[in-house]
Amino acid sequence: MSDAPAQPPAMPSLADKLKSVRLGLRDDLDVTRHLFRDSPSYIVRDPVTFQSQRFEPADYDVLVRIESNRSLGDIFDELVSAGRAEKEDEEKFYAFIMSLHRIGFLQLPVSDDKVLYRRHQQKEQAKKKEKLLGFLFFRVPLFNPDAFLTRTMHKARFTFKAPFIALWFVALVSAGFILVQRWADVTEPLQGLLVAQNLPLMWITLIGLKFLHEFGHAYSCKHFGGHVPEMGAYIILMTPCAYMDATASWGFTKKSQRLMVCLGGMYYESFAAIVAVFVWAMTQPSLLHSAAYNVIFLATVVTVLFNINPLMRYDGYYLMSDLTEIPNLRAKSTQYVFALLKRWLLKVPVRNVPKTVRMKFILGGYGVAASIYRIALLLAISAMLATKVFLLGMGLAIFYVGSTVIKAVLKLVKYLWYAEETANVRHRAIALSAVALVIFPVALFVVPLPSHVYARGVLLAEREAIVRTREPGFVKSIHVEPGQVIAQEENLAQLHNDAHLETVAAAEANLRASQIRMDAYRLHEPNRVQQEKVQEQVFKRQLTAAEARIADLTIRTSTAGRVVECLESNDVGRYIPVGGPIATVVSGRWQLKAILTEDQSASAGATVGDTVEFKASGSSEQTIEGVITRIAPAGTKTIEHAPLTHVGGGEIAVNPADQSTAVPYFEITVNLPESLVSDLRYGMTGSIRMPAKAEPIGTKLTRRLSRFVNKLLQE
């Protein structure tokens, strides 16, 4: 019998490589102790790279035991003897040592070839991605501002003193009061904020504000003794935004100091916003007025949407992390959500479960919200890229979405099929992967789901007449009130116009004078009688016209019906010009006018005779059924019903000049039973619910994507 072939020697483990190694920590590392939820943590800061690392007590216990006069094997044996580790934790111990080596806290005489190769691969992949998308998202370090901040700190220190903060608070409240008082003026220019003429000014304003914002972080950090080693610019979608490295604040032991550094950017940015509010309020439309408005918008709306948004890794995220005392909030919340999914779907036990309901709620809620937000942000960036340069944008959008999906699929397959954690439930894991990667995507495009379409509607009448003035005048009396049923030619209001009365008096005087002259001519100058008769007819026509204008001051309706809108008692004495509205009179059946987007119209597939449900705004109980009587055959970009637009308090954005929209809408008319609308009032809005065609979700998404692409091609 021949000898068995020799087996290749097994690769040495990390423990085999490192047992005899002696090494120590660097002497220049800075360590601070923090309490998070009454549990200690240790922040270790590298003064060379200015990077900070957080260690739990168990990891920090290992860290402080590392001494150059003992081997790593002796240190591990000591941990086992002290009950701080188990024999099975040997590989984890040496992996932790390797992680300390990678972040530069110590130096090892050996290296892990596999780890180094994986790191090399990751770096190469990151470089390739950076080359492709680097012109859209990249960071440019500019200089070390610490010396400049140290020299100028004495000039900025007053902004952190109590008197200045009190003055700032008073100014902030005053600016807020101005904005509230002039809210209509504040919101009116929003439609034209992004017009081409304003974009360069807004772009420059944004850059200036963000530099001020970052200096707020920097000076706050210096005020409490921190070091600020780097300042630079982020280039985001070709727009530069400044950044400051104020991570030294993580080592501050007082929470109030860390929070002040976190809020320092918005604090400094508010200086410009406060000044801008007063400049805007005291100036007329001009370049200065527009610049001030841009500052107000960017320092409020943009700051709230981005800087203070905890779902993005800006100020709001670190603020929430510190307030909840959960370092690495995003990573921990994501881990907790995935752990819950593993337990629910695979029956894999959850490790390191949060101890309190509050912690579970925070981690679970934030993890779900952050995941949804990342997906929405990815789609928004893709859409934005596509709108800028169609071909390049669509290519990058496809790459973004595609690479993200592929990466997620590969990671999912690797975990479900090969992870040790799923070894005991491998059949369940593989079945779950089939559901997630095959059955679910197919079902998206195959299984039709019933759904409904919701649209905004306004309550009107079958016939509507707005009674307007034919002559100008001052309101003398009002004879009707809303809800009153009136007959045809009924008197609605009485106006008074002294000028018209004087015209009548003058015409009457002229007519009498003409008649007197004509009587005198008959006695002394008969040949002039005929001439005076002609003049008499002129004065009669003038009198008739003047009396007609007086009669028009009595406002009457040409149609019978119900008054739904009219002048009020406090309008008595008010001047009404020609064409001014006096009352709105309606008749016929109550109707709903609703408008649908193109996508809603296609989804609903409504036809005349279909039943829909209407629920008035503010009335959560009463639901009224109506019948569709008319569907507009073509879309229109002009919205005739102001209550449905943002001008009248609705949701549809229109150009205030002509009530036009950017996209076409389709109008439907719904008749409502008269007996059920007694509690409703004319002009009130509400929600219309109508059944939609049952179709797969994938079909709807594909249709919307197709329309989006077609719109880009048309533009």
pLDDT score for 49? 60
**Residue holding tokens 């934005």?**
384
Q: Is 19 helix (H, G, I), strand (E, B) or coil?
A: coil
- One DSSP character per residue, 653-672 reads --BTTTTEEEEEEEEEEEE-
pLDDT score for 55? 79
- 314, two tokens: 């800006």
pLDDT score for 8? 46
pTM: 0.62
pLDDT score for 122? 53
Q: Is 459 exposed, middle or buried (0-12, 13-18, 19+ CB in 10 A)?
A: buried
**Residue ranges of the chain with pLDDT lower than 70?**
1-14, 28, 35-39, 47-51, 107-138, 188-199, 235-240, 381-382, 384-393, 396-397, 618-621, 646-650, 656-657, 674-679, 711-715
- One DSSP character per residue, 374-385 reads HHHHHHHHHHHH
- Cα-based torsion angle of the residue sequence 712, 241, 302, 221 in order, rounded to the nearest 10 degrees: 160
C-alpha distance from residue 651 to each of 359, 592, 620, 642 (Å): 37, 17, 19, 10
The one-character DSSP state at 28 is: T
pLDDT score for 332? 84
d(CA 612, CA 630): 13
pLDDT score for 274? 94
Helix axes 357-388, 697-714, angle to 10 degrees: 40
Long-range CB contacts (within 8 A, 24+) of 421-430: 421/342, 421/348, 422/346, 422/348, 425/346, 425/347, 425/348, 428/346, 428/347, 429/346
457 closest CA partner among 351, 600, 344: 600
Q: What is the separation, in whole angstroms, between the first and last Cα of the chain?
A: 81
pLDDT score for 495? 92
pLDDT score for 165? 93
Query: Angle CA(174)–CA(176)–CA(179) in degrees, nearest 5?
Result: 115
pLDDT score for 47? 66
Indicate the pairing of strand 636-638 with strand 575-576. unpaired
d(CA 236, CA 140): 11
**Residue holding tokens 């005991």?**
424
